[in-house]
Structure 1
Amino acid sequence: MSSQELLEFRRKVQGTWQLLSYRAEPLNNDDPIYPFTKDAQGIVIYSSDGYMSAQLMAPRRVPFHTPDRLCGTETELADAMRSYMAYSGKFEVYLDSDGRPCLLHTMQVSSFPNWIGDTQERSAHITEDILTLSPIQPVGLAGKLVRPVLRLKKIT
């Protein structure tokens, strides 16, 4: 891929993407895990100035017993954390050693505190209006090492 093609890829990534599916493939070949069920919802936005935001959640989240988001029960607070993931920060586009486009996400804010300040690499593939993202390095999920795969459809 030439530098011109890389710039074109960056242009194609820019915009708003709606989540079609989010599954995690265990490295031990167990059945896929669906962290937010097979009906997960989400939006990922890549801006022209090099920032991105990802918001992913389980459908049908249960409201708290109170309108005060800080006064939920311990169970409500724990369930809210387990059913929602968000992060935002700078992104970059680069080519891996095989010449395939990848994204770097640098998390400046995150619902998962361990990711704040972290930079993660994502393989990225666009076919027509579908973006497929997957971390280069496996991640821990539900006690297993997995490779998450997100499929997103461009909506703007």
Structure 2
Amino acid sequence: MKKNSLTIQENLIGVWNLVSYKVSNDSGYVTYPMGEDASGIAIYTAEGYVSVQIMRLGRPAYGSGDLHKGPQNALAAAARGYLAYSGSYRVNEEENMVEHHMSVSLNPNWLGDTQPRYVKFEGDILTINSQPVFILGEEQNTQLVWRKISD
């Protein structure tokens, strides 16, 4: 899909602010894994790299103030409430798709993985849908809506 005769690659490049992150199962039941008020940033570079960070608001702070240490429950809540990965991406203009290649990821299961994302642009809004992924104990469909904040 093209916007103002720009390719998907040209439209993707920039910084995006998360509007919503929701998942739905085959029955249509919708949940928000990081809460309805989740916060996030996605960055796509012209050189073909992507970085995505999404977090649940209100995660407990580590009482110690240490960067890498805290009580197990706080560490678990911090990890449970955060989704992060970076790597390269490749666009398939004909399929309205971008493939994310995960070089680093908070989720170790995603390391080295390639995941297709279907994209749609409406003005400064980018909607990304994925093929089913395993979330909250079952295969679910994800939809992320982003608003462009910088080219």
- What TM-score does the superposition give when structure 1 sets the normalisation length? 0.90
Correspondences of 1:56-75 after superposition (within 5 Å) = 56-75=54-73
1:108 to 89, 98, 103: 103
Matches within 5 A, 1:7-156: 8-29=7-28, 31-95=29-93, 99-135=94-130, 137-156=131-150
- Equivalenced residues, count: 148
Q: Which amino acid aligns with 1:18?
A: N
Aligned AA for 1:126? Answer: F
- Long gaps (5+) in structure 2: none
Task: Tell me how far 1:143 sits from its aligned partner.
Answer: 1.1
- For residue 70 of structure 1, report the CA deviation from its aligned partner: 2.5
Secondary structure of 1:62's counterpart equals coil
Residue 8 of structure 1: how far off its partner (Å): 2.0
Distance in 1 separating the partners of 2:16 and 2:35: 19
Q: Whole-Å Cα distance in 2 between the matches of residues 56 and 114 of structure 1?
A: 17
Q: Secondary structure at the match of 1:66?
A: coil
What is the TM-score normalised by the length of structure 2?
Answer: 0.92
Distance 1:33 1:55 in 2: 19
**Which segments of structure 1 move beyond 3 Å, counting only runs of 4 or more?**
none
| CA–CA distance in structure 1, aligned partners of residues 119 and 34 of structure 2 | 21
Q: How much does 1:144 deviate?
A: 1.9
Let me know the Cα RMSD of the aligned residues. Answer: 1.5
Q: Deviations over 1:33-65 (max 9, x none)?
A: 100110000000000000000000011221111
Segments of structure 1 that go 5 or more residues without pairing to the other structure are none
User: Structure 2: how far apart are the matches of 1:69 and 1:18?
Assistant: 25
